Each structure stands twice: as structure tokens, then as C-alpha cells.
Structure 1
Amino acid sequence: MTHRPDHSLRRLMAEAGLIRPRPSRGADAPGQEFPHTWQEAITTVTELWHGDVERRRFLLDSAFAVGAGSTGALRWLTLPQESAPVAGGHRRVGTADIAAIREVTRSFGELDNRFGGGRIRPAVVKYLDTAVAPLLSDGSYGEATGRALASAAAELTRLAGWMAYDLERHGLAQRYLIQALRLAREAGDHGLGGEILAGMSHQAVYVGQPAHALDLARAAQLSARRAGIFTLLAEAHVMEAHAHAVKGDRTACAASLHEAELAFDRRRGGDEPGWISYFDEAYLAAKFAHCFRDLGDGPATVRHATRSLDMDGRYVRGRMFNLSLLAAGWLRSGDLEQACSAAGEALELSRDLQSARSRSYADDLRRRFAPFAGEAAVKELGERAGSAAV
């Protein structure tokens, strides 16, 4: 049986001067590389979690790197499956350990949707560092348990990355998503990997890298097909559509939206993984609305944004985004009264969210309403919104 080193113990011994610390891998480490081996993956992801807990500046201030995402996607698609993730450490890993990680992921995910990543993320990263890292670093598990552990760790790492994205810490978010992708690869979970790639595409559009977003969305499509998850395939196609919209390519956007609809119509509901359950008719409509907003089509934006509001009430942040889309659509359509009404609701919801993306959506509304600052409806909106005024 092989023994995997306890990285927490190694850190303590180094701090006490009992062993020599490992040399630093530089300001860009850890997390941008997609590790080739399982042992390298464990070392990289646990160092990432611990560095994040310690709030190391080189992580918090790290920049988004297109090349890192592209390399990660390529290795996800091409890396041969190595021997199964088995280990003979001191701590036996069981189904209860994995169930706990999954339940924590579900609970933290619900809180993130209600309150934004700022309130919740420190607790998520702390749990990864103190509860999950020891299972990976010094756990004892066979193949089936190892794959389940890698999958559960991937889901929670993905959530921590998504929260960093919500806080607009884009370099940090990218590192988490790349490492989540590597964990999913070890788990042999093509569906979860495709979901992570779709999230990476989502982020790439947000940071103004539509060409990179296209590559990631297409990689997500390949993974969705391998997994046979049609809701995920619809998501990957709509992410491609949004990238086309940002590039101003109406024809390609329309084609991708059509493919998204076809895939969504083939979904199998209860047969699909729980992590894709959020992607329902309302979410699909919201992504359509994003596309049409960025193409400058006001009526289509209004139509799809209105449909998107028939959504799960727990998704407070998502509702704020969708109301912002509706306001932008009404404004583009020339209906200032309706635009102000939707914007007022969006800005009211943003008050209680600790979400940099929510603030950016609010700032976008301010820019859109600025040419109409002298209108009575806009003045009233500003008075009603108070500190969130347009």
C-alpha cells in the first residue's frame, strides 16, 4: 500500500523548522496548471485551498489568463485515463465522508444563490482546507470511493470558484475551475467536467474574451455528448450563442440558440445529475435574453427576460440579473416607464446581495439610463433606489 503525505502536517513541520519547505513555484502558482497525475492534482488543489484560506495576495490579486483555460480544456479532452485514484493513507474514507461533502455543497450553493458569494465563500474554502484536504492527502480508499471522492471534491471546488467569479476575483476563480476540472477528470465524470467547462465559458464572456468562451463552450459540448446529458448540452450551446452575440455575429448566435432549444427538448429530467437541476426553462430564457440584449434587440430581450422571471424564488441573485435584463430590454424598446419599474426591482434586490456581479449589473443599468437622467421617471427611480440610485 502506498502512503500519501499529509500536506497539513508537512506545513506544520516546515513552519517548526523540522523539514525544509518546498520551494515556491512562483507568483503564478498554484492552480493555473492542469496537473498530469493524481498526486500532482492533490498537491496543487490542496495548496490552492490553503493559500486561499491564508489570503495570500498573489492568489487574491491573480489575473485571468486565457492560455491557462485553453490548456486546461485541452488536457481535459486529451489526457489519458491513468490508473484509478486509490490510496493507502492513514484515514479511511467512507461513504459518509463523501455524503457530507455533497450535502455541504448543496447547502452552501443555496446560500450563495440567496445572498451572493461574499457572505459564504470564506466558509466554503475553510471547509475544503480543513475537511476535504485531509481526505485527499492522507485518505485510504479504493477505486470506487476514490472516484466518488474526486467527484465530490470537484463539485465543491467548482462552487468556490463560482463564488470567486461572483466576487469578480477572476484569476482566483479561474484557478479553482481548472482544478475542479482536474478532479472531475480523475473521477471520470464527463458530465461534471462539461458543466465546469460551461462555467469557464460563462466567465470568459463576462471578462470580455468571447473567442476563448467559444472554445470552452465547444469543449463543454463534447463532454455533454459523451455523458449523454442533454440539459448540459443545451447549456453549452447557449454559452456558445452568448459568445457569438458578444462578437456581434447574429447568424451564428441564432444557430447556436436553435441547437440549445433542440437539446433542451431532449432532456430527461429526473435521470440527470442534481448539479444541473438549476438549468430550467427560466434559466434558458435568461441566457436567451442575455444574447438579445448584447445584440441590441429590445423586444426579444423583453420577451425572454419576462419568461426568465418564472423562476425559483430562492435564486435572489439570478432574479436581480433577470430584472436588469428586462429593464435593458424595455429601455432599448423605448418604454422608459416599464424600464424604470424593472430597474427599481433589480436595484432593490441588489441591496442585500454581497455580489460584485450584481453591482456590475447595477452599474450597467446606470450607464444605460444616463442619457435619460432628466426624465421624471428616471429621477423618481433614483429617489426610490436611494444609495442604489441610477
Structure 2
Amino acid sequence: MAAVKECQWSYDACAAAVRAVAREHNDDLSSCDRSHVGHWVGGVRPSAQTQRYLAEAISRRLGYVVHPTDLGFSTGGSLEPDLGGLDWWKHDPATDLLTVGRADLERRAFGLTALYSLAALAVPLDSWQEIAERGRRAQGGDVAVGRSEIAAVRDMLAVFGKADERFGGGHARLAVVQYLTSDVAGYLRGSFSSDADRRAMFSAAAEMTYLAGWKAFDSSLHGLAQRYYVQSLRLANEADDRALAGFTLRAMAHQAVDLGHGQEALELASSSLEWSKGRATPAATALFTILTARGHAATSDSARTSSAISAAETHLSNASPEDEPMWIRTSGFTETSLASQAGQALRDLGDLPGAERQLRRSIATRNAETYRRIHTLTLANLADVQCTQGRLSEAAENWNHAMDAMAGVKSGRAHSAVTNIRTRLSSLGPRLPTFAKRLDQRAADCLRTA
């Protein structure tokens, strides 16, 4: 296989790269080794999903998108060639939103098999104006769209957004996608009485598409989440809503850092600040800035991490909640959320006492019932930090609180937090104290019934 040779990989290195991509998608390919790569090079076809892992691993190595078909594999009629490259900037966003949404609704396996692509993170910020102009020329459907339709979309956003924070991304995820592909996509193709109405509808559609992406991210469907995020960016660009585009770039940075791509996370967070400069409110700027702290921490830059945390706190202190956009108010970004992100940044740097202070601050100031999912995750993060410091009894108490809080929450991230409990406890060996054994059993039962 010429592409493997072009990567200048040994067979062992190729197998390791494929295993790394698989891990991002919660797929255990620990058995994949150099002998498998040798078989592939010799003409043996791996499974369809392994073909995608291999193509993504090669894409990351070479710096451009490689599809399974480029490696000589047949797609068997899959939509993946159309969706895998994310090179949709030449199409109008309403069409591409429909393509992704319908694949999500009609092909159950699509959300599970869509891969997270590092190549797709290089969004063409410098050419968005020309892309937006093409979109404006493409408008002109038969449906008349005005203020009442815009208000309807925003009302639905408020309902879906509140439910998401309380019950998790797995709750009503497909209902959001169904609404996007029916009502919202129809509005985007409609006719508008003014450019202001057109921008307002595209902005509302961008927020709804962001929510679809966030719900997929929270459900650990990372490739699918990325596809919705890219479409949200395009719609925000059509609306000339740079602050909202920054909000989505920040979400992409959050996803990247969670998946272990620190440098890419830093670049995305920095882009969110650059793209929204002069347009973002103080709280929005604080949110974008705290994600740069996560990126700096992931790249082991302690000085810039501390500076970014301080800058974010200063921006937030200048915010007036009533003047912030709805997407800031709905997501509940306040001192509480900033402290949670700061705690994770300090944890990644290895400053465990500092991380614990910030996470405790977040837990103490959060409305736990309204924001049940993030409260669950923050408790789990605090417990993990305490366990790392050797304080197992305190960690167990907070892990139990986290499982109490997650009752009724459908979230892949919460599920991963419970899996982590068992992983951490198993690393301590068989001679666990009784309270830890009870916790391990509770975590096992929780995973079994999830």
C-alpha cells in the first residue's frame, strides 16, 4: 500500500496510529499489530470501520484528507465519501445540513461510524466572506420567512437547550435533528423580505445546528458532532455572526482537547478569539479565553495557562448578564463554568491543589438541578483529582455524589466518567477497602443499566 510507505511508517507505527484513532471512538483495537498491517499491504481487506480508521490515521500523518477509496477500498454504497472529507465549502449550507441530518436520521450506523478528522479542523476562515456571498446568491425559495418563523426557531432552541443541560445530550437528540432537517432547513431555503431577517434566521439555524453538534459530542459521537459544528460555522458566517462562530469554534476546541489534541485545541480557541474580535461580549470573550487556557495546559505551557485564566476572569467580571447573547445565557456560562474549565486546565498541568480549589468553587456555586449534567461531570473531575492525590475516601464520596446526580441523565461523557471510576479503582489492586469495593460495584451496576 503506497500510502503507508508515503507515511514513512514501520508496520508497528502504522498499527499504533490506527489503534489511537480507534480509541477516540471507544473501539478497542488492541489486537491490531504489525501483522495486520502486513496483511493489508498484501491485499487483505480490513473491516469497513478499520478502513476508516486507517484512512484517518494516514490523513493525520500526511496533512491532507485521505478517503478509504483512495486506499483502494470499495465503499459499498456508503455516504461516507460525501461526508468524510468535510470539503463542503463549495456548496450552499442548507443543502449540506440536509445531507448530514438525513444521514443521521436515516442511517443508524452513520453516527457511530463517522470519524473525527483532524484535517477538518483547518476551517478556511480567510475565505468565508466569498463563501457567504455564494450562499446569498443561492437563496430564493417559495416559502416566505419573517419574524414569526425566526421567533419559532428561537423558542424551540430555548426548550431543547434547557432539556439538554438538565438531561444530557442523549435526550431528544434526534428530535433536534428532525426539527433541523424539516422546519429549519425549509426556512433557510425560503425568501426573506430583508437581509436583516435572513441574517437572523441563519443565526438561529446556526445555534440549532450547534446544539445538534453539542448533543452528539456529549453522546460521544465525535465524528458526527464535528460535522454539525462545521455546518454551524458556515451558517453563522452566512449570518455575519462572528461571535456565534467563535462560540462554535470554542466547542470544537473543547472537543479537540478532550480527545487529546492539545495543539489543535489551542489553535481553535485562538481562532474563536480572532474571528469574534470586536463582536463578542465580555462573557463570550471570557469563554473563548478560558478554552485557550485548556489548550495551553494541554501543551504544558504553565505561564500562558495562568495568564489566560486571569484574563478570562477579568473579562467575565466586566459582563452584564442581560447584555449577553442567548447562547451564553442558555449554556449557563458564569463564574461557575469558568471555574470548572480552569480546574481542568490546572489538572492537565499537574497543579492538583489548584485544580481542586477551582472545581470545589464550581460545585459550590452551581445550580445543580438546572445543570445536572455538568454538575455530575464536575463532581467526577473533583473525585479524580482527589484520587490522584491519594485521598481515596474523599474521592469515593464525590464519585458517589456524581452517580446520585446523573440519575436520568443520558450522556456519553457521564458514562465515561463512571467507566473511569472502575479504571481508577482497578489500578489500586485487589486489596481495596470495603467502601471502595461498594463504589466499584455501584459503578458496575450503573454501567450495566445505562
Q: TM-score, normalised by structure 2?
A: 0.75
- Provide the rounded CA distance (Å) in 1 between the counterparts of 2:337 and 2:314: 15
2:402 maps to 1:352? no
Q: Is the 8 A contact 1:34 1:71 kept in 2?
A: no
Aligned partner of 2:35 in structure 1 is none
Which amino acid is the alignment partner of residue 330 of structure 1?
Answer: Q
What is the CA-CA distance between 1:25 and the residue it aligns to?
A: 10
From 288, 307, 311, give the equivalent of 2:342: 288
What is the CA-CA distance between 1:344 and the residue it aligns to?
A: 0.6
Aligned partner of 2:167 in structure 1 is 115
Aligned partner of 1:46 in structure 2 is 98
2:294 maps to 1:239? no
From 316, 326, 329, give the equivalent of 2:382: 326
Query: Judging changes above 3 Å, is the alpha-carbon distance between structure 1 residues 381 and 245 closer, same or farther for their aligned structure 2 residues?
Result: same
Q: Percent identity?
A: 34
Q: Is the 8 A contact 1:301 1:329 kept in 2?
A: yes
What is the CA-CA distance between 1:60 and the residue it aligns to?
A: 4.2
Q: Secondary structure of the equivalent of 1:89?
A: coil
Aligned partner of 2:359 in structure 1 is 305
Q: Deviations over 1:274-309 (max 9, x none)?
A: 111211010001001111222232221221111111
2:234 maps to 1:182? yes
Q: Is the 8 A contact 2:419 2:443 kept in 1?
A: no
Q: TM-score, normalised by structure 1?
A: 0.86
What is the CA-CA distance between 1:372 and the residue it aligns to?
A: 3.7
> Which moves more between the two structures, 183-192 or 335-344?
335-344
- Provide the rounded CA distance (Å) in 2 between the counterparts of 1:44 and 1:142: 24
Query: Judging changes above 3 Å, is the alpha-carbon distance between structure 1 residues 363 and 248 closer, same or farther for their aligned structure 2 residues?
Result: farther
Aligned partner of 2:133 in structure 1 is 82
Q: Secondary structure of the equivalent of 1:65?
A: coil
Q: Where do residues 357-376 of structure 1 align in structure 2 (5 Å cutoff)?
A: 357-372=413-428, 374-376=432-434
Q: Deviations over 1:143-196 (max 9, x none)?
A: 111111100100000000110111111111101000000000010111111101
Q: Is the 8 A contact 1:210 1:244 kept in 2?
A: yes
- Provide the rounded CA distance (Å) in 1 between the counterparts of 2:211 and 2:402: 24
Q: Is the 8 A contact 2:97 2:181 kept in 1?
A: no
- Provide the rounded CA distance (Å) in 1 between the counterparts of 2:343 and 2:81: 36
Q: Which runs of 5+ in 1 are unaligned?
A: 1-23
Q: Where do residues 219-298 of structure 1 align in structure 2 (5 Å cutoff)?
A: 219-277=271-329, 278-298=332-352
Q: Deviations over 1:28-64 (max 9, x none)?
A: 3248235256xx2221112222222212644541111
Q: Deviations over 1:187-242 (max 9, x none)?
A: 01111111011001001111111111111100111133221412121111211111
- Provide the rounded CA distance (Å) in 2 between the counterparts of 1:35 and 1:370: 47
Q: Secondary structure of the equivalent of 2:179?
A: helix
What is the CA-CA distance between 1:244 and the residue it aligns to?
A: 2.1
- Provide the rounded CA distance (Å) in 2 between the counterparts of 1:379 and 1:58: 38
Aligned partner of 2:269 in structure 1 is 217
What is the CA-CA distance between 1:252 and the residue it aligns to?
A: 2.6
Query: Judging changes above 3 Å, is the alpha-carbon distance between structure 1 residues 60 and 380 closer, same or farther for their aligned structure 2 residues?
Result: closer
> Which moves more between the two structures, 176-185 or 246-255?
246-255
Q: Is the 8 A contact 1:113 1:316 kept in 2?
A: yes
Greater relative contact order (Cα 8 A, min sep 6): structure 1 or 2? 1
Aligned partner of 2:244 in structure 1 is 192
Q: Is the 8 A contact 2:421 2:440 kept in 1?
A: no
- Provide the rounded CA distance (Å) in 1 between the counterparts of 2:292 and 2:213: 21
- Provide the rounded CA distance (Å) in 2 between the counterparts of 1:234 and 1:26: 39
Q: Where do residues 116-155 of structure 1 align in structure 2 (5 Å cutoff)?
A: 116-155=168-207
- Provide the rounded CA distance (Å) in 2 between the counterparts of 1:323 and 1:347: 9
Which amino acid is the alignment partner of residue 362 of structure 2?
Answer: S
Aligned residues: 364
Aligned partner of 1:28 in structure 2 is 81
Q: Secondary structure of the equivalent of 2:348?
A: helix
- Provide the rounded CA distance (Å) in 2 between the counterparts of 1:235 and 1:244: 15
Aligned partner of 2:24 in structure 1 is none
Query: Judging changes above 3 Å, is the alpha-carbon distance between structure 1 residues 75 and 113 closer, same or farther for their aligned structure 2 residues?
Result: farther
Query: Judging changes above 3 Å, is the alpha-carbon distance between structure 1 residues 74 and 53 closer, same or farther for their aligned structure 2 residues?
Result: farther
Q: Is the 8 A contact 1:90 1:140 kept in 2?
A: no
RMSD: 2.4
Q: Secondary structure of the equivalent of 2:170?
A: helix
Q: Deviations over 1:322-348 (max 9, x none)?
A: 101111222233322211110111123
- Provide the rounded CA distance (Å) in 2 between the counterparts of 1:167 and 1:43: 25
Query: Judging changes above 3 Å, is the alpha-carbon distance between structure 1 residues 323 and 308 closer, same or farther for their aligned structure 2 residues?
Result: same
Q: Is the 8 A contact 2:90 2:131 kept in 1?
A: no
Aligned partner of 2:256 in structure 1 is 204
Q: Is the 8 A contact 2:422 2:443 kept in 1?
A: no
Which amino acid is the alignment partner of residue 285 of structure 1?
Answer: A
Aligned partner of 2:156 in structure 1 is 104
Q: Secondary structure of the equivalent of 1:33?
A: coil
Q: Which runs of 5+ in 2 are unaligned?
A: 1-76
